[in-house]
Chains A and B, each alone.
Chain A
Amino acid sequence: MKYIDHHAHMVSRTTDDYAQMALTGCLAVTEPAFWAGWDRSSAQGFEDYFRQLTEFEPKRAAAVGMQHYCWLAMNPKESDDRELSREVLKRIPKFLDRPTVLGIGEIGMNRITRNEVDTYTEQVELAIAHQQLILIHTPHLEDKLKGTRVSVDVLGRYPKLDPARVMVDHAEEHTIEMILADGYWAGLTLYPQTKVSPQRAADMIEKYGPDRICVAGACDWGPSDPLAVPRFAMEMRRRKLPDDLIHRVIYENPVRFLSQSGKFKVARHKLHHEEVKM
């Protein structure tokens, strides 16, 4: 089994976690910029974080034979601070040409404030201006429905934005239909309590099929599991779902979405090799 975890906050994980992921078949992770669990004090702190994502983490991943890519953004939890957000957004473009930066993310909302909507909108425009892929965080728990509705509504104001270049992440049963209906990719993130279990993710694959759906662990500094994707694969096998369906969801789908950046090269080569064999 091989897989791609499109959402993994590896700055919060140990080198042993990288090794475990590699041992279970993970070929590449993509790491969205996110909240550290506390608010940073300055835009310079974000710049250091972006350097960590683009310089240090790829080396840690490479030590176990994995690829590490990233997404840059002002994260939703701090995006209500408009002044700080503007400063951070000014610093992002100079990182976008780095070889492992796939796009703008994770952008979105936390409590869905007016300020958060404004920062989110500016980041959508930043992505469009720089022809970047977009990875969208949808809020937690009771805020997910509203946050997804508002996020998708803002995207709809940009008719030139290709929905196939946008992944709306952390989808759940009550939001996945609106995401897929508008042509976006839907991400299912596997959390022990606050998002989706492997069982519920498998249910959604059964209900909606595998088109434009990816599954990730979203491991971070909180209760989470860097091996969540292989546990999802185990759940699919438990139901006797076919191996080619599992492969499509955990490998081919993320490769198809991520390769649109033009930088996601090694995995794309492997997919091509497989298609030639078929």
Chain B
Amino acid sequence: MTVQSPLGANELADEYFIETRNRILEIGAFLDRLDRADPSRSARDFRLRALTEALGVLAAAEPNYVSQIQMLLSDPTTEPLPALDRKSAIGAYDHGAQDR
């Protein structure tokens, strides 16, 4: 069972465009900030690589953007860790860690 939003596409764009515009500018500003600090960092840090991949999802124009981004940020494994390594999550899964 789904719920049909009473708002059409034009109304949704009218309602949400400005706040979404602000969010994409914030992403651009964050990447500029990183570049000013260290232009090569985005290539070395798995969290920032994940952000770049997420931007690729948005650019691909295929549906279910948010689920696709959630999946690329997530640990895809199911085997429990043998021991506690740290207390907190980081926000992105280091997919390259399995190969190192």
Which A positions have Cβ atoms within 8 angstroms of B? 77, 80, 110-117, 139-146, 149-150, 153, 172-174, 199-200, 203, 205-211, 238-241, 245
Contact with A along B61-82 (1 / 0, CB 8 A): 0000011001101111110111
* A241 B83 Cβ-Cβ under 8 A: no
A53–B89 alpha-carbon span in the complex (Å): 27
Other CB < 8 Å A-B pairs besides A143-B74, A146-B75, 10 of them?
Answer: A110-B87, A111-B86, A113-B82, A114-B82, A116-B80, A140-B88, A143-B89, A146-B76, A149-B78, A209-B3
Contact, CB under 8 Å: A241 / B5: yes
B15 within 8 A of partner (CB): yes
Q: Is the CB of B74 within 8 A of A210?
A: no
The answer to whether B3 and A145 have CB atoms under 8 Å apart is no
Chain A hits for B76, CB < 8 A? 145-146
CA distance A44 to B80 in the complex (A): 29
- Structural contact, A111 and B15, CB atoms closer than 8 A: no
- Residue ID in chain B nearest A245 by CB atoms: B3
Stretch at the interface among B26-34, B36-44, B52-60, B90-98: B90-98
Contacts of A240 in B (CB 8 A): 5-7
CB distance from A213 to the nearest CB of B (A): 11
Q: Give chain B's interface secondary structure class.
A: loop
Closest-by-CB residue of A relative to B73 is A142
A54 to chain B, nearest CB (A): 27
- CB-CB nearest in chain B for A209: B1
A145 interface neighbour in B70, B80, B86, Cβ under 8 Å:
B70
**With A142-B74, A142-B93, A238-B15 in contact, is A114–B81 under 8 Å at CB?**
yes
10 A-B residue contacts at CB 8 Å?
A111-B85, A113-B80, A116-B84, A140-B89, A141-B91, A143-B89, A146-B74, A146-B75, A209-B1, A238-B15
B interface size (C-beta, 8 A): 33
B1 touches A172 (CB 8 A): no
Report B-chain residues with C-beta under 8 Å of the C-beta of A245.
3
Contacts of B6 in A (CB 8 A): 239-241
- B4 contacts which chain A residues (CB < 8 A)? 206
Tell me whether B10 is interfacial, beta carbon within 8 Å: no
What's the Cα separation between A63 and B27 when bound, in Å?
45
Report the minimal beta-carbon distance from B57 to chain A, rounded to whole angstroms: 13
Does A150 lie within 8 Å of B78, measured CB to CB?
Answer: yes
Q: Could you tell me the distance in whole angstroms from the C-beta of A147 to the nearest C-beta in chain B?
A: 9
Q: Is B2 an interface residue (CB 8 A)?
A: yes
Which residues of chain A are near B70, meaning CB under 8 Å?
A: 145, 172-174
Instruction: Let me know if B3 and A143 touch, CB within 8 A.
Output: no
Please, how many angstroms separate the alpha-carbon atoms of A203 and B65 in the complex?
Answer: 12
